[in-house]
Structures are given as C-alpha cells and as structure tokens.
Amino acid sequence: MKIEILYSPGCPNYFPVVEQVKRVLSSESMPAEIRSIAVRTDAEARELMFPGSPTIRVDGEDVEAAETIAPGLKCRLYANLSGVPSEEMLQLAVSRAKKKG
C-alpha cells in the first residue's frame, strides 16, 4: 500500500495528518510506504490535481474524493469541517485499498 500526503509547505495541518495516518496504519496493522509531497506552485497544484493542503491519497485515490475541487494552493477542509480528515475516513480508505490488494 502506498500513501501520499500532498501539502503546501507551512501548512499547520500537515504534521497532525502524518501522525493520524501513522495511527490508523498501526491500528490496522498495515505496513505502508508514506510519501510526503510538497506542492509549492500553482503549476504543480494543477499538474498533481491538488485540491488543497493537506491531501491524502491511498494507492492513488483521494480519501475524500466525493467533491470535485479546483486544484490550487489553498487549505483543505474535509467533511468534518476540519483540515484533518476523520480517523474513520482514513480507516475506510485503508480498508478499500486492502480489499483491492
């Protein structure tokens, strides 16, 4: 399993997201490669289809891809109205990736 955390440098939610991803992986006893990707320019944001910082992708799929958001350098809010997705959302994304195997 490969997890990418895309973020804008200086994003206050980046480190909390990294810690939450690690907690979820530990609770699921799931080994995974975690790769952090800094998105520094609008051009990079468009190229990576970056909907805001931080964005978490599990095996290439956004953990909350329900809405289409124009890419750009901005903060991201998740369904829980926080810049950090809920633990349940992350667990669902990990479970989906495990099933695809």
DSSP codes of every residue in 27-67: HTT---EEEEEE--SHHHHHHTT--SBSEEEETTEETT-SS
Q: Over the stretch 67-76, which tens digit does the pLDDT of each residue have?
A: 667 899 999 9
Tokens of 19: 């810690």
Convert the pLDDT of each residue in 1-21 to its tens digit.
999 999 999 999 999 999 999
Rounded Cα–Cα distance for residues 33 and 42 (Å): 26
Looking at domain 2-100, its CATH architecture is 3-Layer(aba) Sandwich (3.40)
